[in-house]
Amino acid sequence: MLNIQDVSDLPQDEQAAYKRFVEAIITRDLPKRAYIRMQLDPMEDETLEVSKIGGVPFLKSLEDIPVDAKNKKMVLIAQINLSELPEQQTLFQADKGLLQFWMSCHTDEYGLGLESFNDNSNTALTFIEDVTTSLTLSEIITFMDQFEYEAENVPLTGTYHVTYAMEEQYLTAVDYRFNDLILPIWNEVNPEFEVESLFDGYDDLMEKVFSTLLPEQPAHQLGGYPYFTQDDLRETEEEIRVYDELLLQIDSEYTDGINIDWGDGGTANVFVKHDDLKRMKFDDYFYNWDCL
């Protein structure tokens, strides 16, 4: 859960301060959440209903592909088959069905809304309860091949198989609640290194603290606490704090056979409201991505 850092390069007093903080985090009842970590691998022998990042979507009807603000067909970014999730997961109240996240490829903003924070006219989040269809993979491919897709406006190439695992994490250092919930503990156990934020001095030491609370990279996950390449918009935009549950997070990844790039090494997040998630209601969400 904690990404313990090597602090041997720091002065002795800073090493001691870091160790006091880690001990305090471990021994106190601090915010932590279970989440479903996603590991990606290049997909071979693609089928319709499996979990995937990119690829050919499961469809019950050829008319089910969402359209964007220009009334053009979107592309599938993520498909989560709930029946494949770990049995002990509690994020979703159902154990079957498909959650799909779609994006327009006719805008260079990766589907980001421009009118407001909850402008989702160029993305779609859909849930399919009954995973049966008369369509075949080849039929859907043939249908989709007639539409023009601008590959440069999609943050990934290829199709990736998803493997799930349950893990647990502390509140991340980039979450807007960090300064209220975690930073006071640092200042309590290290009054000689008191700071108002992680970027308020002692740069080398604070970088170690920041990295200690980072999720394992790349941070592909369902649920848990979010990771941001830059800032948590909820810190300054209080109206979007109602979207208090991280639903889906897809990070940038450049490994053998995988190429996902949100702008320049960024991360994408989809948030929903807690009550909506409990009701398996996905028509109201907040989507954002940022990059270096």
Q: Does residue 280 sit within a domain? A: yes
C-alpha span between 172 and 214 (Å, rounded) = 6
> Residue 55 gets which letter from DSSP?
S
Q: Residue 285 above 80 pLDDT?
A: yes
In the prediction, which pLDDT does 208 show?
94
Q: Residue 116 above 90 pLDDT?
A: no
Taking a C-beta distance cutoff of 8 angstroms, is the pair 256, 160 a contact?
Answer: no
In the prediction, which pLDDT does 76 show?
98
Q: Which of 23-32, 237-246, 261-270 has the least mean pLDDT? A: 23-32
Tokens of 237: 């935009």
CA dist 12 to 16, 201, 208, Å?
6, 17, 14
Q: Does residue 41 sit within a domain? A: yes
Q: Does residue 182 sit within a domain? A: no
Over range 257-271, report the average pLDDT. 95
CB proximity list for 85: less than 8 A, separation 6 or greater? 36, 91, 92, 95, 164, 222
Q: Residue 114 above 80 pLDDT?
A: no
In the prediction, which pLDDT does 118 show?
81
Interval 201-210: pLDDT, tens: 899 999 999 9
pLDDT above 90 coverage of the chain, percent? 86
In the prediction, which pLDDT does 199 show?
83
Using alpha carbons only, what angle is made at residue 100 by residues 78 and 273, rounded to the nearest 5 degrees? 105
Q: Does residue 181 sit within a domain? A: no
Q: Residue 182 above 80 pLDDT?
A: yes
Q: Residue 167 above 80 pLDDT?
A: yes
* Listed residue (35, 60, 36, 75) closest to 129, CA to CA: 60
Q: Does residue 197 sit within a domain? A: no
Taking a C-beta distance cutoff of 8 angstroms, is the pair 214, 237 a contact?
Answer: no
In 3-state terms, what secondary structure has residue 230? Answer: coil
Q: Does residue 191 sit within a domain? A: no
Helix locations, the chain, DSSP H: 12-27, 137-144, 178-181, 183-189, 203-212, 274-278
Mean pLDDT of the chain: 94
Interval 118-140: pLDDT, tens: 899 999 999 999 999 999 999 99
Number of domains in the chain: 1
Give the torsion through C-alpha atoms of 182, 188, 189, 194, to 10 deg. Answer: 90
In the prediction, which pLDDT does 71 show?
95
In the prediction, which pLDDT does 31 show?
79
In sign, the C-alpha dihedral spanning 185, 187, 192, 193 is positive
C-alpha span between 134 and 144 (Å, rounded) = 16
CATH of the domain at 281: 2.30.320.10
Interval 140-156: pLDDT, tens: 999 999 998 888 999 99
C-alpha span between 262 and 30 (Å, rounded) = 31
Q: Does residue 208 sit within a domain? A: no
| Domain ranges, residue 145 | 31-172+214-290
Q: b vs e for 246-285, b when ≥16 Cβ sit within 10 Å of the residue's Cβ? A: bbbbbbbbeeeebebebbeebbbbbbbbeebbeeeebeeb
Q: Does residue 11 sit within a domain? A: no
